[in-house]
Each structure stands twice: as structure tokens, then as C-alpha cells.
Amino acid sequence: MASAATLTAPTALPARSGIPAPDDAEPRPAVAIRGADKSFALGRGKTLQALANVDIEIAEAEFVAIIGPSGCGKSTVLRLAAGLDEATSGSVDVFGADPRQLARQHRLGVAFQEHALLPWASVRQNIALPFKVAGRRVDDERVDGLIELVGLSGFEKARPKQLSGGMRQRVSIARALALSPDLLLLDEPFGALDAVTRRRMNAELARIWGEEKITTILVTHDVDEALILADRIIVMTGRPGHVREVKKVDFPRPRDAETTRSPEFHALVDELTSLLDHAEGAAA
């Protein structure tokens, strides 16, 4: 039986959504996916079941990574949280509301493996884009702060083709953070980068998250990446995907090279890799 990804609340923080919970209430999860199934129509009466009875709760200001074999529905979970897909059955709430409401209010930040930057726009213009899409005045101070936060000071006028892959992903993440979202969704944002650049970007993302403290869901195939970044790791089974196990990551932050060389880190890598191997075999 799959383990439910239940809420493990960190130290209480003021609600970024601006809707405080009653004093006597349990902390409300930022993301609550309960009993979610998701099937896709393939035509000619055929369907593909991507998810089966998925239960996930994520606390506000928590960083959760989702790992699992290819095709297990990791990205589908992200799309449910973003309001891009609807569950066939079950429920999906984000800050107590329909996730599409969060998107309409521009309180959702998203970064994918493909950075999707405007090729004709500068770093500054790409980061400022969410303000224009939301019909808001560009907050130049916020844009300047994000450029500094992601380490791109001096590259404000550069176009994407003038940047390295890692620098383009920094722009993508800065753009996702521009409107100070309540929820940040990351779908393999560093999957196309070489191993050295990916490690550097993991460290950058950990630093950025440490400053912003935004509720974050990361989909990744990289176990090391999940352990470096997450408070908890959700392991999914093969398709139809459901939660197989949830591992809490207790390593103190920041997690540096010394952390990754520790026996405890390697033991968790081995344990999670074994869970993934078992899930791959079950899906075969």
C-alpha cells in the first residue's frame, strides 16, 4: 500500500497568501491533493491512467521534491497543482482554493527544463515580463533585486543567446519569482545542463530558496539533487503513479560538498535509488 505524503509543517510562518488560519485551527496545507486519479483520452475509446489515488500534502514554506520512474506522472502532479489539468477524480486545493484561482491571481511561479525566454528580450526585460502580463507597473527595485539574487549583475542587457545554459536557467527562475508567488513549481529545470553546471545551479537554487522561502515543488530524476534541495522527498511508483514512500531529509542547510560526502547522504541515495529501481521494475 502506498504511503500518504502527509503534511509535516515547519515552523509556522505568516501566510504568504494573506489569509491567516484561525488561531485554533491546524496549519492548513499550502497544497492538498487527495485521492487524485488522472486519466487521459487516447482516442477510439482508449484511455491512459497516469495517476491513481494520489495523496499529497505540502506545508507552507516547505520544499518538496518528487522523484519516480519516467512516465509515472510526476509532471502530471505538477500540472494539477498549477491548474493546467483537472483530476479525473479526487480533489486538488492550493491555499484552500482551486489552483486555477492562484494562476489567475498571478500567485504561481513556474520554471521548466526549457527556459522559454523571449530570444529578442534582454535579461531585465525577460524578468520584468510577468509584471506586464499581469497588467502591473514593473517594479524596477524587485527586478534589480532578482538580478542580483540569481547572480546576473552586469548581464542586465544580455540576450539569451549571449548567456550560458546555466545563466539562462537563472533568468527563468528569476522570472518565476518576479511577482513573489505563493507557490513555485519546478519541472526538471536543470535537466538539460551538464553535471558540473547542474551542481552549481543546485547550490544557487538552495541559496535563492533560503532567501525567498516560497512553497516549492520540484520534479526531478536526480536523487542527489532532491536530497540537496528538499525538506521531503516523495517517491512515486510506475504508471499509474501513486505515492510509494515519503522520506524526510534532515540534513542541515546549507547542504554543501561535505554533506554530499557523508555516509548518511550516501545511505539515503542508495535507499532512494533502490526504491526507484523497484518502481521501474513494477512498471515494466
Residue (of 129, 84, 122, 76) closest to 103 by Cα position: 84
pLDDT of residue 280: 65
| Strand positions, DSSP E, the chain | 31-43, 46-58, 63-67, 89-94, 108-112, 183-187, 215-219, 232-236, 243-248
Mean pLDDT across 137-164: 94
The string of pLDDT tens digits covering residues 169-206 is: 899 999 999 999 999 999 988 887 888 888 888 888 89
DSSP classification of residue 23: T
Judged on CB neighbours under 10 Å (0-12, 13-18, 19+), 42 is exposed
Which grid cell sits at 280? 521501474
Counting residues of the chain whose pLDDT is more than 70, the rounded percentage is 88
Query: Using CA atoms, how far apart are residues 60 and 79, in angstroms rounded to an integer?
Result: 19
Which grid cell sits at 145? 533585486
Q: Tell me which of 19 and 210 has the higher pLDDT.
A: 210
Query: Using CA atoms, how far apart are residues 72 and 275, in angstroms rounded to an integer?
Result: 13
Contact call for residues 236 and 68 (beta carbons, < 8 A): yes
Task: Look at 33-37, 42-46, 207-211 and tell me which has the smallest mean pLDDT.
Answer: 42-46
Asked if omega into 20 is within 30° of 0 (cis), the reply is: no
Counting residues of the chain whose pLDDT is more than 90, the rounded percentage is 67
Is the pLDDT at 17 greater than 70, yes or no? no
Q: What count of other Cβ atoms lies within 10 Å of the Cβ of residue 14?
A: 9
Residue (of 56, 5, 51) closest to 32 by Cα position: 56
SS3 47: strand
What domains does the chain contain, in order, with CATH numbers? 1-19+27-101+215-284 (3.40.50.300)
Mean pLDDT across 112-130: 90
pLDDT of residue 219: 95
pLDDT of residue 282: 53
Q: What count of other Cβ atoms lies within 10 Å of the Cβ of residue 46?
A: 8
pLDDT of residue 45: 79
pLDDT of residue 5: 52
The string of pLDDT tens digits covering residues 212-248 is: 899 999 999 999 999 999 999 999 999 999 999 999 9
The string of pLDDT tens digits covering residues 82-91 is: 999 999 999 9
Q: Please report which confidence band the pLDDT of residue 7 belongs to, taking 50, 70 and 90 as the band edges.
A: very low
Per DSSP, the residues of 61-87 read: T-EEEEE-STTSSHHHHHHHHHTSS--
